Chains A and B, each alone.
Chain A
Amino acid sequence: MTSFAFGMGMALWFGILTSISPCPLATNIAAVSYIGRRVDRAGYVLSAGFLYMFGRMITYVFLGALLVSGAQSIPVVATFLQRYMTILLGPILIIIGIVLLGFIKINTFGVGFSENALQARIHNAGIWGAGLLGIVFALAFCPVSAALFFGSLFSLAVTHHSRFIMPSLYGIGTAIPVLGFAFLLAFSTQLIGKAYQKIATFELWARKITAGLFILIGIYYCLRYLVHWL
């Protein structure tokens, strides 16, 4: 049990180590801004944060289960995800950024949603979007995350016969620093906004900054992984 508890601690640590390494820094900044952008709603930030964490968790559990059934596939899956997910990530981030800016309008097909109902739909999609973001960012392996997940974490999970707990803890570990910064950003901005009674203005700017960051990080990914300019 002590050994298993130590293994659990290691799995969590490998996740944190992945998250604080330089190579996923750009996606972590995007995640922090996405989760923490609704400075006017504390409940939203918390829900989005936990959904982001859940998205990462289920991705690693799914991959772990898939690879335990065929360890020979590890080099194939790892190479495939590192090569193609990073290429896809650039355009995905740019599109999300444009949607957040409001340049792409969501087509309601004349169903006639009231403005409030439409806002509610976008609001809910935004929360679930955090979960999707967690899945996409977890799949976009960089050399560090690939090494720690396919190497260190997988060995640990195999040693302890743990298909669920170890990959889950790794997922939680990868999300902890992001959630910490997102909550800090959102609540400190909320405090300042309340003090100056300009919370709505702050929220508007937070959304624009998030959109800008997504577009910039998307361009960075396109230049680095799509056209190899960086």
Chain B
Amino acid sequence: MTGENNKVDYIKNTKPSLGKACIAIIALVMLTQGYAQGAEKLTKNNAEHYILAKQEKGDKTPGKEDRKVIVFYFHGNIRCYTCKRIEQLTVKAVTEAFSDEIKKGLVELQVLNVEDPQYRHFINDYQLYTRSVVVSDFRQGKQKRWKNLQKVWELVHSEEAFEKYIKQEVQEYLKGP
């Protein structure tokens, strides 16, 4: 997976100090662990199962060598102004730049509410911490790689830079390794 690997490497190389073992941390970790265990059960339905389920339902848009790049926009029940703007700009950038690829079934755009129980597993699948744009590469129903386009939050105030960023990232995934 791309993106978050550098965080995990850093964490593995970091030795925890005694000072961190305060009661408040333990309490918060215990609190969140209970919540995490609940979320973990949901990861059985992962992104690949989601795609397979869609295909079984007849949504089998043919792609080159059964390949598909999916651009997800994940939102919650509360839709803030900036969140709506990110969704709007993402949809605009993808539909305008990749209209041919969308018709061929090579590119797909999905807008999903992660607070909907059937999509909640995406929080763990893609390590989501807020409303997010994720680009994912599927081949024969298998997810090869994915990336959380976290710069959307820094670029949302510049429409041109935002659209350029989305187009570049999707283009790179279309070229593929």
A positions within 8 Å CB-CB of B: 14, 17, 21-23, 62, 65-66, 68-80, 82, 86, 142-144, 146-148, 150-152, 154-155, 158-159, 161, 224-225, 228
Contact = CB atoms under 8 A, between A and B. Distances in A.
Interface in B78-108: 78, 80-83
B127 A74 contact: yes
B36 interface: yes
Interface in B100-136: 123-124, 127-132
B11 A69 contact: yes
B7 interface: yes
Nearest to A73: B32
A86 B129 CA distance: 15
B49 to A, nearest CB: 19
B29 interface: yes
B153 A147 contact: yes
Interface of B: 4, 6-8, 10-11, 14, 16, 20, 24-25, 28-29, 31-32, 35-36, 39, 76-78, 80-83, 123-124, 127-132, 148, 150-151, 153-154
Contacts of B36: 72-73, 76
A-B pairs, top 3 by smallest CB distance, nearest first, are A78-B129, A146-B130, A147-B153
A82 B130 contact: yes
A142 B129 CA distance: 11
Nearest to B25: A66
B8 A71 contact: yes
18 contacts: A23-B80, A65-B25, A70-B11, A72-B127, A75-B124, A75-B127, A79-B128, A80-B32, A82-B76, A143-B80, A143-B82, A144-B80, A148-B153, A151-B130, A152-B151, A152-B154, A154-B7, A155-B7
A79 B123 contact: yes
A147 B80 contact: no
Contacts of B29: 66, 70, 73
Q: Which of A70, A76, A142, A151 gathers most chain B CB within 10 Å? A: A76
